[in-house]
Amino acid sequence: MQACTLIAHAKINLYLEVLGSRPDGYSEVAMVLQSIQLADRVELKRRQHGIHLSCNHPQVPLDATNLAYRAAELLQKESHSSAGVDIHIEKHIPVAAGLAGGSANAAAVLVGLNQLWGLGLTVGDLQTLGARLGSDIPFCVQGGTQLATGRGEILEPLMDLEGIPLVLAKPRSLGVSTAWAYQTFRSLQVDRTLAARPNDTVSSLPQLLAALERQDPQALANSLRNDLEKPVLAAHAIVGELKTALCSVGALGSLMSGSGPTVFGIMPSLEQASQTRDILRRQFQDVDFWVTQAVPTGILLEPGPPQL
Ligand code: ATP
């Protein structure tokens, strides 16, 4: 195989609970992650030597800090391969949005180069390598609906939520750094004790898992939780406004994804999702909206032209 194209799906967090700090500087978390249809296209072409990267989005770094570049470099090193690759990323996932765009790109490079370079690595091998680059990469390799614990790299598949309709809303000029969100969460000491103040209605993981098991969209919408909302909402009022607006025009429930600022609403139908998007587009002119849905895979190999 000389070339391949991968569809790298974004993710949302249906649940993100910060359980504590770890000696390695990461936070101990319990998350429920869901792949969504919104995706980047990652094209890989074999070359004799070196790693070359291009991307259609001006905010994406093209040097060795790009996660997709780092994934190729890591595979090269670990497999003692001298082969090279041209990587082209066609961005559709907004950048620094809490949707794991960079992690999805890195996962696509791991999956694609495993084929292109004929490395014969298992999904588990690719996830272990991915975890060295970023906590969301192991999830992105496999995708679907999964419980993620540890720093996000310990995965347990859950019942698929395929097809559930969603509206995403992202303030156009706002990006949130994941490191900032976790640090601010810690410095505000919004820990489990404070999060459980009597006035707060904080949902629990068993509640969300039961809703998933029943495939009940309203119960799911009632069980959403993201501990990182507190610091981000305090700094960016628009995020709270979007949550409220989504629920006032048809969403069963809404939540910020990951470290934000993207907010999603769970919708009763795709038709209602389109209506909600159209209404909110008129109200919020500096916000981008998408209608999307849950999908059961992280990375898909795009079918190539038929082999003659
Ligand atoms: P996560 O939810 O995993 O924390 P995110 O969706 O919030 O990630 P990304 O879109 O992955 O954020 O981008 C975060 C930062 O990573 C960007 O500001 C960018 O500089 C850098 N980055 C590195 N590689 C990529 C990539 N392939 N695509 C987008 N951003 C990348």
pLDDT at 89: 98
Residues spanned by the domain of 181: 165-293
Residue 306 covered by a domain? no
Kindly report, residue by residue over 127-141, the tens digit of the pLDDT.
999 999 999 999 999
DSSP label at residue 303: P
pLDDT at 199: 46
- Does ligand 1 have an atom closer than 6 angstroms to the CB of 260? no
**Is the same domain home to 149 and 180?**
no
Kindly report, residue by residue over 24-58, the tens digit of the pLDDT.
888 899 999 999 999 999 999 999 989 999 999 99
Distance of CA 128 from the midpoint of ligand 1 (Å): 20
**Is the same domain home to 141 and 201?**
no
- Does ligand 1 have an atom closer than 6 angstroms to the CB of 96? yes
**Is the same domain home to 174 and 284?**
yes
Residue 47 covered by a domain? yes
**Is the same domain home to 181 and 103?**
no
Give the mean model confidence (pLDDT) for residues 232-243. 96
**CATH number of the domain that residue 176 is part of:** 3.30.70.890
Distance of CA 90 from the midpoint of ligand 1 (Å): 14
Residue 113 covered by a domain? yes
Kindly report, residue by residue over 247-265, the tens digit of the pLDDT.
999 999 999 999 999 999 9
Kindly report, residue by residue over 163-203, the tens digit of the pLDDT.
899 999 999 999 889 989 999 998 885 445 545 444 456 78
**CATH number of the domain that residue 147 is part of:** 3.30.230.10
- Does ligand 1 have an atom closer than 6 angstroms to the CB of 229? no
Helix (H) or strand (E) holding 72: helix 67-78
With tokens 């690719």, the residue in question is 126
**Is the same domain home to 144 and 225?**
no
**Is the same domain home to 205 and 130?**
no
Residue among 132, 127, 249, 231 nearest 176 (CA): 231
**Is the same domain home to 14 and 152?**
yes
**Is the same domain home to 147 and 31?**
yes
Beta strands in 22-66 (DSSP E): 27-47, 51-55
**Is the same domain home to 71 and 217?**
no
Count the domains in the chain: 2
DSSP string, 144-180: SEEEEETTTTEEEE----TT-EEEEEEETT----HHH
Q: Which atom of ligand 1 is nearest to the CA of 40?
A: 28
Q: Consult the annotation and say whether 95 binds a ligand.
A: yes
